[in-house]
């Protein structure tokens, strides 16, 4: 597992300098695997488990003692041609000088990948996270030294660092979709995707170089045939670029997005060993094997099928689940991840390809945004009426029921739908007050990617919005022994920028979710897969798992940290999580996430796996 840690301090401060040297020695004493990637005046970057051409350090050689730095992660050269295959970067002295003299802007303009850059020019230090932020960058501090890191167990091992839970952030995550840009730890923050932090003796400033709104207005492709051709070229080239360092891969195949990835991976030049892996449930809504088998047979790819069995409740210890910056699943996911790791090992190594982000980037949503965007861009023209009919069909609603909101938003002020709360009867009234205060604090600053600028349309804001919350991240909830790298081509800059340049009504070609992607890859996939309209609804497994272990869930939650902190209502838990009580679906859906938060909170407060076992819960 590749990871880094960086220290930034004021080199003119003797005490901070002494602390920085102490921290460097602490990590080298912990393990000889820690190596220095860059050591400058007030800036030190260390990393470990480097794999050249996969995850590595890229030096920024300026031949200037007052400037320099390093990029850690995976960096590829950028080529504006959609069909161009990118290569692993090698940064020359002139290129490094350009990166530093532009305060990192040239890195975003000339390269792409999964990276974090640390560099300096004189007393100014910079931390730049790539626009997708899939290599996380967290920050804490110790005695005048700022510590930036990607893997929490590395800093948690430093017993002199104290961490405490930020309960309002946890409370918000129990009601609204989790926002991974906020860390529920008081002493930690996360550098956002695409954010550049500038540190000087006078203070800290933050900015974003990558501007997705501007991309939506640049070289827009409205012709369906051209858009289909460009999208296909971008996906094929990106998949080839990402697969290049590996001898093989496993594609986590299930729906249409991952089937398209398999079709693209099948085009990677030999020798390249490709295997499919599908996880299915007993419930027909969670079983996609019919389509998966069609795809694998059509492409000649071997398939591994994994049945998700409902198991006895087990809390996995530190040997399976490390401490993480956010609550994570300690029960089901660790076993499944180890299964994937073992299959990769049997396969001779390689990497996992995952279709995450396909729903959002290829665009599958049956909303009114495509029609609203067309109306704002072109006004009332003949294609508008066809788009209204398609929106009606996708939403399975009458034209007359959707027309008023289309007219209102098409001619009115730009806006997007607010994220809906998902409260349950198991939460206390106090939680809502905590969440409201947290939301008011957050609403004081709007993320620049969501401000209505650059003549951007509401639909494109909806297209961009999923990118800001950090929901797509590196698999950090894994111990190094079971780690595997996961690549997500739909969340790569070349594919994202291509999709942003294509209007929503073109992405929804023929009035179908991912309609343009279907047209682009229809010759590489079986017709049944290309034009399938169903999608896996895999909620039955957790329903069955919770029912099978309801008594232990109730026991763990009723006397736990979430009750103690006033987030869960003990009386409601006792009544609702009872086999003789009819459980409402909305209450049931939240139980597993509450359990994840409970176990995470106990681990944060120092409780071990052995402690939980002794409590007769696990």
Each residue's pLDDT tens digit, 319-378: 788 889 999 888 788 888 899 999 999 988 889 999 999 999 999 987 899 999 999 999
pLDDT at 614 over 50: no
Output the pLDDT for position 471. Answer: 60
CB 462 within 8 A of CB 416: yes
pLDDT of residue 537: 63
Average pLDDT of 179-194? 91
- What pLDDT shows up at residue 543? 77
Q: What confidence tier does 615 reach under pLDDT thresholds 50, 70, 90?
A: very low
- Is residue 281 scored above 90 in pLDDT? no
Q: Where in the chain is the domain with CATH 3.60.20.10?
A: 3-209
Query: pLDDT over 90 for what percent of the chain?
Result: 66
* pLDDT tier at 310, thresholds 50, 70, 90: confident
179-188, 212-221, 412-421, 544-553: which range is least confident on average? 412-421
Decide if pLDDT at 473 tops 70.
no
Both structure tokens of 118: 């640390």
Q: What is the mean pLDDT of residues 166-177?
A: 88
Listed range (33-42, 287-296, 567-576) with the worst mean pLDDT: 567-576
pLDDT surpasses 70 at 594: yes
Provide the pLDDT for residue 438: 74
The per-residue pLDDT for 567 is 93
Alpha helices in 246-288 (DSSP H): 256-265
Band the pLDDT of 440: cuts 50, 70, 90: confident
pLDDT for 476: 66
Residue 178 has what pLDDT?
73
| Phi, psi (deg, nearest 5) at residue 38 | -155, 135
Q: For domain 214-360+471-530, give the fold.
A: Rossmann fold (3.40.50)
Domain with CATH 3.40.50.620 in the chain: 214-360+471-530
pLDDT at 539 over 70: no
- The rounded mean pLDDT for the chain is 90
Q: How distant is the alpha carbon of residue 591 from its chain centre?
A: 23
**What is the distance between the alpha carbons of residues 7 and 418, in angstroms, rounded to a whole number?**
39
Q: With beta carbons less than 8 A apart as the criterion, state whether 489 and 495 touch.
A: yes
Percent over 70 (pLDDT), the chain: 93
Residue 213 predicted with pLDDT over 80 = yes
Residue 446 is predicted with a pLDDT of 77
Distance CA 70, CA 39 (A): 10
Q: Does domain 3-209 have CATH number 3.20.20.70?
A: no
What pLDDT shows up at residue 608?
61
The answer on pLDDT for 264 being more than 70 is yes
Lowest mean pLDDT among 1-10, 71-80, 235-244, 583-592: 583-592
Smallest CA-to-CA distance from 325 within 160, 495, 454, 155 is with 155
pLDDT at 18 over 80: yes
> Taking 60 as the threshold, does the pLDDT of residue 610 lie above it?
no
Please give the residue that has the higher pLDDT: either 213 or 612. Answer: 213
Range in 198-202, 212-216, 273-277, 453-457 with the lowest mean pLDDT:
453-457
Contact criterion met (CB below 8 Å) for 612 and 314: no
Give the per-residue pLDDT at 611: 54
Q: Between 418 and 304, where is the model more confident?
A: 304
Average pLDDT over residues 183-201: 95
Identify the CA nearest to 405 among candidates 416, 420, 418, 393.
416
* 364-390 pLDDT, tens digit each: 987 899 999 999 999 999 999 999 999
178 vs 175: CA distance, rounded Å? 9
Give the burial string for 34-56 (b: 16+ CB within 10 Å, else e): beebbebbbbbbbbbeeeeeebb
Mean pLDDT over residues 129-140, rounded? 94
Rounded CA separation 262/275 (Å): 9
* pLDDT above 60 (res 617): no
């Amino acid at each position: 597992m590749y990871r880094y840690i960086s220290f930034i301090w004021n080199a003119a401060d003797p005490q901070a300098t002494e602390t920085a040297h102490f921290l460097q020695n602490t990590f080298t004493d912990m393990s000889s695997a820690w190596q220095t990637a860059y050591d400058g005046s007030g800036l030190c970057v260390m990393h470990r488990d480097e794999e050249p051409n996969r995850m590595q350090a890229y030096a920024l050689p300026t031949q200037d003692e007052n400037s320099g730095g390093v990029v850690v992660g995976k960096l590829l050269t950028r080529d504006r041609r959609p069909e161009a295959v990118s290569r692993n970067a090698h940064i020359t002295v002139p290129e490094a000088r350009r990166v530093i003299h532009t305060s990192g802007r040239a890195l975003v303009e000339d390269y792409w990948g999964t990276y974090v850059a640390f560099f300096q020019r004189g007393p100014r230090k910079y931390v730049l996270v790539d626009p997708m932020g899939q290599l996380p960058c967290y920050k804490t501090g110790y005695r005048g030294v700022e510590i930036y890191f990607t893997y929490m167990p590395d800093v948690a091992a430093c017993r002199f660092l104290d961490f405490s839970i930020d309960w309002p952030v946890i409370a918000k995550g129990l009601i609204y979709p989790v926002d991974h840009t906020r860390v529920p730890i008081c002493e930690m923050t996360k550098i956002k995707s695409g954010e550049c932090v500038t540190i000087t003796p006078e203070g800290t400033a933050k900015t974003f170089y990558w501007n997705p709104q501007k991309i939506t207005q640049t070289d827009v492709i409205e012709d369906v045939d051209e858009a289909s051709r460009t999208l296909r070229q971008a996906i094929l080239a990106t998949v080839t670029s990402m697969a290049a360092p590996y001898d093989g891969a496993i594609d986590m195949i299930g729906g249409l997005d991952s089937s398209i990835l398999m079709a693209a991976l099948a085009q990677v030049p030999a020798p390249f060993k490709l295997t499919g892996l599908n996880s299915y449930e007993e419930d027909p809504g969670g079983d996609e094997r019919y389509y998966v088998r069609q795809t694998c047979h059509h492409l000649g790819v071997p398939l591994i099928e994994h049945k998700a069995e409902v198991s006895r409740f087990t809390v996995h210890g530190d040997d399976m689940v490390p401490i993480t910056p956010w609550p994570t699943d300690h029960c089901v996911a660790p076993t499944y991840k180890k299964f994937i790791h073992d299959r990769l090992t049997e396969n001779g190594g390689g990497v996992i390809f995952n279709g995450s982000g396909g729903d959002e980037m290829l665009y599958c949503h049956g909303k009114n945004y495509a029609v609203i965007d067309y109306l704002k861009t072109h006004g009332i023209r003949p294609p508008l009426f066809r788009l209204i009919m398609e929106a009606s069909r996708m939403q399975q609603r009458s034209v007359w029921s959707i027309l008023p909101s289309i007219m209102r938003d098409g001619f009115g002020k730009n806006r997007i739908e607010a994220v809906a709360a998902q409260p349950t009867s198991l939460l206390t009234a106090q939680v809502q007050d905590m969440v409201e205060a947290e939301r008011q604090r957050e609403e004081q600053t709007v993320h620049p990617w969501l401000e209505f600028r650059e003549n951007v349309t509401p639909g494109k804001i909806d297209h961009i919005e999923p990118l800001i919350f950090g929901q797509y991240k590196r698999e950090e909830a894994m111990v190094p022994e079971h780690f595997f790298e996961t690549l997500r081509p739909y969340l790569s800059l070349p594919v994202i920028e291509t999709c942003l340049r294509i209007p929503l009504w073109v992405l929804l070609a023929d009035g179908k979710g991912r309609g343009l992607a279907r047209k682009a890859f229809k010759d590489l996939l079986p017709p049944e897969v290309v034009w399938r309209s169903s999608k896996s609804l895999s909620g039955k497994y957790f329903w069955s798992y919770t029912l099978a272990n309801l008594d232990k869930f109730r026991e763990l939650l009723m006397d736990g940290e979430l009750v103690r902190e006033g987030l869960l209502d003990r009386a409601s838990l006792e009544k609702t999580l009872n086999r003789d009580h009819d459980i409402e679906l909305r209450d049931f859906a939240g139980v597993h996430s509450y359990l994840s938060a409970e176990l995470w909170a106990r681990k944060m407060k120092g409780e071990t796996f052995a402690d939980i076992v002794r409590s007769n819960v696990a």
